[in-house]
Structure 1
Amino acid sequence: MNKAIPIVIVLAALGAGAWKYDVPAALRISRDTAEELVLYGNIDIRQVSLAFRVGGRIDDARVDEGDVIKRGDLLARLDNDIYDHSVRLGEANVAALKATHEKLVAGPRQTEIAQAQATHDASIADLENASLAYDRARRLRPQGTISEASLDEATAARAMAAARADMTKQALAFLEEGSRSEDIAAAAAQVKAAEAALLTARSSLADTELRAPNDGVILSRIKEPGAIVSPSDPVYVLSLSAPVWVRSYIGEVDLGRVHPGMKVKVASDTNPGKSYDGTIGFISPVAEFTPKSVETPELRTDLVYRLRVVIDAPGQDLRQGMPVTLRFPTMKADNK
């Protein structure tokens, strides 16, 4: 009986040693044949700082922190008097330049041409009278009937009449030719420049209204009515409803088990029974040390790869920074 006790003790020790060395092997087999990979991460939601593109005084702020808004909703408005006046001035300038351009394209009216023709005819008649007076003075001067001064006056009058006739002739030709093509092109360019300035004024007027670029929730209301803001001064901070993704990290040993496009089940600690469908959209090509905020001190020196899981149809219960669990089936690394 006393000899049997040591034998039992030795056998028990050998059995315990065998169990001790078999446990790591069993764990390795379980890891290699796992059909599900579990990771942990945090919800990441995009935020947008909303600001006016123009400066001015805030006249109205319509939403507050926590308000759920839709794309296109009016959030705030500036006092737009000065921008409205700029639009009116631009419209008047465009109208004036268009009228000038149309006038050049149409050319002179027939009544204007007829008037120029009549003026030219009158100048021709004056030239004929002046020529007759000159001829008469030239014949009478040798006889001494008129003085040399009278002949000089007749000569000058004929020259002046000839100049006026030539001037009216050129004026008539100018009207008959119509507007120059260069003048028409310059007027058309001025119209286009004025129209561009008008579009800028209208755009500035529209920018006095701050509208939501996407669906989301107002996180912060930074400015109040009466405040003077410059372009790009933040007025609200908007948390977008979509996209919503999870920022997580995976170790190098499991990197071969995932790939972009793989489907994932996402559940929060608040409601672990409810899961969302997600898709791996990005896996970082560069390794980094595990972030100190998500791992224990023993694992902070491990190299991991950051990945992003986009949630297909996020719900209202998912909030910025919320911890979540990722579960997705995957093949063994050796089979990929």
Structure 2
Amino acid sequence: MKRTIIIFLLLAAAVGGWYAWKILNAEQSGSAPVFHGNVDIREVRLGFRVAGRVAEVLKEEGDGVAPAEIVARLDAQPYENAVDQASAQARQLEARLAELQNGTRPEDIEQARKNLTATEAAHENARLIFERQQQLVSSGAVARQDFDTARASFQTARARRDGAKAALDLLLAGTRAEQITQAEASLEAAHAALSQAQTQLADTVLTAPETGVVLTRVVEPGSIVQAGSTALTVSLLSPVRVRAYAPEPQLGLVHPGRKVLVFTDSRPEPYHGQIGDVSARAEFTPKSVETEELRTALVYRFRVTVQDADQGLRQGMPVTLRLED
């Protein structure tokens, strides 16, 4: 048993010494070290900003898309109705503001003058009748009921005259500044509501942001979707990056701007890339990365931008990296 333990310890020491010798020898001899990583392509989850019923989906999985290309549509009828309603409300408030700004028409003032003249004449006639009845009622020549009727008619005529005069004064005074300010604020709110309705109508059309390939088609025509839910997932064609990891002894060889060669199992010729950034924090090697080093070794993540990427590089594909110089 002790002999087995001793042999195991000797083998572990030999492996550790071989690994340290390999790293040091690579640095001293100038041979390019090997790094391992995975292709990391950005994905976009496309979704409508408004809820509704899906009218059509124009792309299948695997189809290519171009920037601003339409990929799906919602039933736009409810949002078109909302735009029409908001537009009608805005036109109504525009007419009201124009009416207040233009002031009273001369025809309205002339009509108010004539109305005042008529009420003044009626008031004068009612006054004369009332005064005549007032003189006769004391001698008993006129019934008390007729006198009360004449007095009520006179009071009514006087009230109508005063109302007509007030209406004329109001027309002559014109529109108050507060009314115009209120009408302007209402019109601004109506324009904002119209703009919002037009934006929601435009959001019933789903477009691709950049050139890419459809990975998944989540919805079908007739489906009811909520705002923000994913309808299609698109893999962007550019940029294509590789996420790789470097152990601490080789960290000095990895720096932004350095050229690298990217090898895949399906292509004999390498791709050309350039290191973009190096993480400032150490981490454990992910299990998805197949390396020759121990899993427990701390590594630093760095990212390589592939300059001549094509359709041969797929999301998550394992690759091997070698430094060019």
Q: TM-score range by the shorter chain?
A: 0.7 to 0.9
Structure 1 counterpart of 2:53: 57
Deviations 1:130-157 (A, max 9, x none): 3333444455556665455555544443
Distance in 2, matches of 1:26 and 1:302, equals 15
Q: CA deviation at 1:77?
A: 1.5
CA contact (8 A) 1:37 1:329 kept: no
2:315 matched to 1:323? no
2:262 matched to 1:266? yes
> Which residue, 278, 288, 291 being the options, matches 1:283?
278
Structure 2 counterpart of 1:43: 39
Structure (1 or 2) with the larger CA radius of gyration:
1
Distance in 1, matches of 2:21 and 2:270, equals 35
Q: Superposition RMSD on alpha carbons, in Å?
A: 2.8
Structure 2 counterpart of 1:192: 188
For structure 1, list consecutive stretches of 5 or more residues without a partner in the other structure: 1-23, 331-336
Deviations 1:56-77 (A, max 9, x none): 2222221111111101111111
Q: Which amino acid aligns with 2:302?
A: L
Tell me: CA distance 1:258–1:82, structure 2 relative to 1, closer, same or farther (3 Å): same
CA contact (8 A) 1:35 1:329 kept: no
Distance in 2, matches of 1:66 and 1:138, equals 103
> Which residue, 125, 131, 138 being the options, matches 2:127?
131
The sequence identity of aligned pairs, in percent, is 43
May I ask how many residue pairs the two structures share in their alignment? 307
Distance in 2, matches of 1:110 and 1:272, equals 91
CA contact (8 A) 1:289 1:301 kept: yes
Q: CA deviation at 1:187?
A: 2.3
Matches within 5 A, 1:74-153: 74-140=70-136, 145-146=141-142, 150-153=146-149
Matches within 5 A, 1:199-278: 199-278=195-274
Q: Which amino acid aligns with 1:44?
A: D
For structure 2, list consecutive stretches of 5 or more residues without a partner in the other structure: 1-19
Structure 1 range deviating more: 31-40 or 245-254 = 31-40
2:307 matched to 1:307? no
Distance in 1, matches of 2:250 and 2:128, equals 118
* Aligned-partner SS, 2:269: coil
Distance in 2, matches of 1:298 and 1:142, equals 130
Distance in 2, matches of 1:97 and 1:273, equals 69
Distance in 2, matches of 1:256 and 1:80, equals 58
- TM-score when normalising by structure 1: 0.81
Structure 2 counterpart of 1:70: 66
Distance in 1, matches of 2:181 and 2:236, equals 50
Deviations 1:189-228 (A, max 9, x none): 2222222222222222222211111110011222222223
